[in-house]
Chains A and B, each alone.
Chain A
Amino acid sequence: MDRSSNLNLLDEAFGFENQARVSPRVLLIEDCVETSGAFVLHHLIKRALSLDGSGVLLFVALAQPFSHYERILRKLMYNIGGNSKSVEQNVIHSYSMVYRVGGFTFSYPLASELLMVLDVHWSGCNLVTQRDNNRLFFLDMLKLVCPDGDEKHNIEGGLVELYGKIQKTVEVSALSEDSRNCITIMIDDISLMEVAANGSSNHVLDFLHYCYTLTSELGGSLVTLNHEDIYSSTLGPTPILHMEYIADIIIKAEPLATGLATDVHGQLTVVNKGIIVEHGSPRNRIRNFHFKVKENGIEYFYPGSQT
């Protein structure tokens, strides 16, 4: 009940409440030290993977290891597909089993290679299964460092190599299935890519441009996260401005002016640059609402309307 009415506030702001499929676009999530925007990323992972079995997600991880996302998504995913009660109970059952078993095991092998398969299958709907089914391609780039030689060439070379991996993956999955419309590339932290590129944000922008050419060609989405407060003290042009120009939708997570509270974790501002026509007239393009992050989903509500 919660989820059908509340999750839609974000989806509505994205403008995809009517379409099952995500239209090609670029999403930029901006957050700050006080309020992390990673939960929007998790929501989008879930969305990308739950699209009637045809979406393909390519995840470039620079901030967190596979085990982190896997665990979070497992908790999010059990909400999916619970139409009939028995199914839901089943899912919950397996989920709680998983949870407890998972709770005991705290040493995870690090997913360090593309398509590496963990030998444990927790439940029907999790990232491991999705990875086995070639719907999720998880690129672990936690250790990505573009060689910091004197030559500019090296930094570029490192990013070209990463792009090459992405392009290859996209090509393979685009050839094998008719999932062309639903390919999503996600990068979980652009600021860390800048660190990997030794501060050469121009190369990072080039990299993003190339990713963008891939997704726009195939009608997919490009989702990135960056930290807005890093750049706010810099005068003049910053890389995040470039990203804002490319983005179709900007999602900004901020703390409330009054600080964090137990029932409101922050506010989201969603700026949708595309024109959404609803009942014949263009709709509000800017939404602002509060949110509360929970393990199995996020509650969205307008200020004051919380019950």
Chain B
Amino acid sequence: MAATKSSFSRNISSTPLVQNPSLKQGSNGTVFVSSGIPDLDKILGGGFPLGSIVMVMEDAEAPHHMLLLRNFMSQGLVHNQPLFYASPSREPRAFLGTLPSPISSKDNKGLDSDSEQEKGLRIAWQYKKYFGEHQQNFENHKGNKQEYCNDFDLRKPLERQLLSKQRIDCVSTQDSPNLTHFRDRCSTFLAQLRRNDDGVACVGRIAIQSFCAPQCGYSDMEWEVLSFIRSLKSMIQSSNAVAIITFPPSVLSPSFSKRWQHLADTLLSVKAIPDEDKELAKLLTGYQDMIGLLHVHKVARINTQVPVILEATTYSIKLQKRKSLVLERLNQAPVDGSSGSSYAKSASCSGSSKGGSLDF
């Protein structure tokens, strides 16, 4: 732990320009903002890099992408970052009422120790890896109210005052017949976040929910939508902002879905998990607590050509104490040697969780 500590603090000290605790210095001159989910930040090597586009492929059957969106948006608001939110609903602003509230540092610690006692060794591996870093994060900013990444209580709505404090743009994508208006709104929002040499003064977040959903006026204008994403990407690349776009790949043609995926810097997908599946329950530890799966397809490669190779690409989404979101590597349940068939199945499952895709 000492080693981790020293390397970490050196990193901090060598980044004089990043004084803002809501930012984290990455390698190759990138700066991360938090996704709002501590585990996801860890998986992605720090968070979402500024100037990148994150795409989340939705599951047609489950709303897990909303969890990612909510935490991402809340985290931004906690950090006093301007927010741009677009959704295909008629009243996008109503969604802000569902944003989760951060768990305070004190509560969080209680939660951590609680859970450790409660869950025992099963999750210990995960915490061993970065618990120290966590701890340190909290220590570093003890005097400061802000943390790089908060835990959020999904049951508790965000305080009203946070919603009024910051600039929040809400756009409904349902009505407009074309994307010109939307594009203009985006570019006005991003104009305040333009990059310059003075470092990062202000960081913005863009969240676009279910872009190109069938109810959008332009859902059949596939080339226009692509062109929009491309221009958004080029605007983001020159701004201090991150955009997260969720989209339903099943309603796009396969070829266009691939084009979307190529445009993403970071590409994630969420999957529902079958309910009361006895086979799965046998295979995976903690099946009862899982609410879905997260798959990491692509990790942003900004200013570098080296791909990020993750130890695992499929993670289970769990609700800890029914309120805070955690991601865990799929753990294979110990298998009794007597049942040959299930052994073979679990073997293939663990193999795919390492490298390939896990299709359910």
Does a CB–CB distance below 8 Å link A and B in the complex?
yes
A4 within 8 Å of B by Cβ?
no
Query: Which residues in A have their C-beta under 8 angstroms from that of B295?
Result: none
A143 and B355 contact, CB distance less than 8 A? no
CB contact between B226 and one of A64, A108, A195, A293 (< 8 Å): that residue? A195
**Assuming A65-B238, A103-B14, A230-B259, is B227 touching A36 (CB within 8 A)?**
no
Query: Which residues in A have their C-beta under 8 angstroms from that of B302?
Result: 68
A293 and B307 contact, CB distance less than 8 A? yes
Interface residues of B in 262-308 (CB under 8 A from A): 262, 267, 297-298, 301-307
Interface residues of A in 96-118 (CB under 8 A from B): 100, 102-110
Query: Which residues in A have their C-beta under 8 angstroms from that of B16?
Result: 104
Taking CB as reference atom, which chain B residue is nearest A69?
Answer: B303
B196 within 8 Å of A by Cβ?
yes
Query: Which residues in A have their C-beta under 8 angstroms from that of B309?
Result: 260-262, 265
Query: Which residues in A have their C-beta under 8 angstroms from that of B226?
Result: 195
B355 and A258 contact, CB distance less than 8 A? yes
Query: Which residues in A have their C-beta under 8 angstroms from that of B28?
Result: 71, 103
B354 within 8 Å of A by Cβ?
yes
A107 and B306 contact, CB distance less than 8 A? no
A195 and B305 contact, CB distance less than 8 A? no
Query: Which residues in B have their C-beta under 8 angstroms from that of A107?
Result: 195-200, 240
A195 and B223 contact, CB distance less than 8 A? yes
> How distant is the Cα of A191 from the Cα of B224 in the complex, in angstroms?
14
B306 and A260 contact, CB distance less than 8 A? no
Query: Which residues in B have their C-beta under 8 angstroms from that of A198?
Result: 223-224, 227
Taking CB as reference atom, which chain A residue is nearest B226?
Answer: A195
A274 within 8 Å of B by Cβ?
no
A33 and B261 contact, CB distance less than 8 A? yes
Query: Which residues in A have their C-beta under 8 angstroms from that of B143?
Result: none
**Assuming A71-B304, A230-B259, A259-B354, is B238 touching A110 (CB within 8 A)?**
yes
B355 and A259 contact, CB distance less than 8 A? yes
B200 and A106 contact, CB distance less than 8 A? yes
Interface size class of A (residues with CB under 8 A): 35 or more
Q: Which of B85-93, B131-139, B208-216, B229-237 contacts A (4 or more CB under 8 A)?
A: B229-237
A148 within 8 Å of B by Cβ?
yes
B334 within 8 Å of A by Cβ?
no
Taking CB as reference atom, which chain A residue is nearest B257?
Answer: A233
**Assuming A148-B224, A258-B356, A265-B307, is B267 touching A102 (CB within 8 A)?**
no
A71 and B29 contact, CB distance less than 8 A? yes
B227 and A100 contact, CB distance less than 8 A? no
> How distant is the Cα of A71 from the Cα of B335 in the complex, in angstroms?
48
B345 within 8 Å of A by Cβ?
no
A132 within 8 Å of B by Cβ?
no
CB contact between B29 and one of A105, A109, A199, A261 (< 8 Å): that residue? A105
B5 to chain A, nearest CB (A): 20
A142 within 8 Å of B by Cβ?
yes
B270 to chain A, nearest CB (A): 17
B254 and A106 contact, CB distance less than 8 A? no
Interface residues of B in 168-221 (CB under 8 A from A): 195-200
Query: Which residues in A have their C-beta under 8 angstroms from that of B234?
Result: 142-143
Interface residues of A in 208-259 (CB under 8 A from B): 227, 229-231, 233-234, 258-259
A145 within 8 Å of B by Cβ?
yes
Query: Which residues in A have their C-beta under 8 angstroms from that of B347?
Result: none
B145 within 8 Å of A by Cβ?
no
A174 within 8 Å of B by Cβ?
no
Interface residues of B in 20-65 (CB under 8 A from A): 25, 27-31, 50
B258 within 8 Å of A by Cβ?
yes
> How distant is the Cα of A107 from the Cα of B344 in the complex, in angstroms?
51
**Assuming A259-B355, A265-B309, is B303 touching A72 (CB within 8 A)?**
yes
> How distant is the Cα of A71 from the Cα of B30 in the complex, in angstroms?
11
A240 to chain B, nearest CB (A): 11
B208 to chain A, nearest CB (A): 17
A39 within 8 Å of B by Cβ?
yes
Query: Which residues in A have their C-beta under 8 angstroms from that of B355?
Result: 258-261
**Assuming A109-B195, A142-B234, is B255 touching A234 (CB within 8 A)?**
yes
A156 to chain B, nearest CB (A): 16
B81 to chain A, nearest CB (A): 16
Taking CB as reference atom, which chain A residue is nearest B201?
Answer: A107
A127 to chain B, nearest CB (A): 13
Binary contact readout A50-63 vs B (1 if CB under 8 angstroms, 0 otherwise)? 00000000000000
B15 within 8 Å of A by Cβ?
yes
Query: Which residues in A have their C-beta under 8 angstroms from that of B297?
Result: 33-34
A233 and B305 contact, CB distance less than 8 A? no
Query: Which residues in B have their C-beta under 8 angstroms from that of A229?
Result: 258
> How distant is the Cα of A109 from the Cα of B239 in the complex, in angstroms?
10
A233 and B303 contact, CB distance less than 8 A? no
B195 and A110 contact, CB distance less than 8 A? yes
A67 within 8 Å of B by Cβ?
yes
B251 within 8 Å of A by Cβ?
no
B218 to chain A, nearest CB (A): 12
CB contact between A33 and one of B253, B258, B352 (< 8 Å): that residue? B258
> How distant is the Cα of A143 from the Cα of B232 in the complex, in angstroms?
9
B305 and A72 contact, CB distance less than 8 A? yes
Taking CB as reference atom, which chain B residue is nearest A109?
Answer: B197
A27 within 8 Å of B by Cβ?
no
Query: Which residues in B have their C-beta under 8 angstroms from that of A65?
Result: 237-238
For the complex of A and B, 9 pairs with smallest distance between CB atoms: A259-B355, A233-B254, A142-B234, A199-B223, A71-B303, A107-B195, A110-B238, A259-B356, A39-B305
Q: List 5 A-B contacts (CB under 8 A).
A: A103-B25, A103-B27, A107-B198, A110-B195, A231-B255
Known: A198-B224, A260-B355, A293-B305. 18 other contacts (CB 8 A): A65-B237, A68-B302, A71-B29, A72-B304, A100-B14, A107-B195, A110-B237, A110-B238, A143-B234, A148-B224, A195-B223, A195-B226, A198-B227, A227-B259, A234-B255, A259-B352, A259-B356, A261-B309
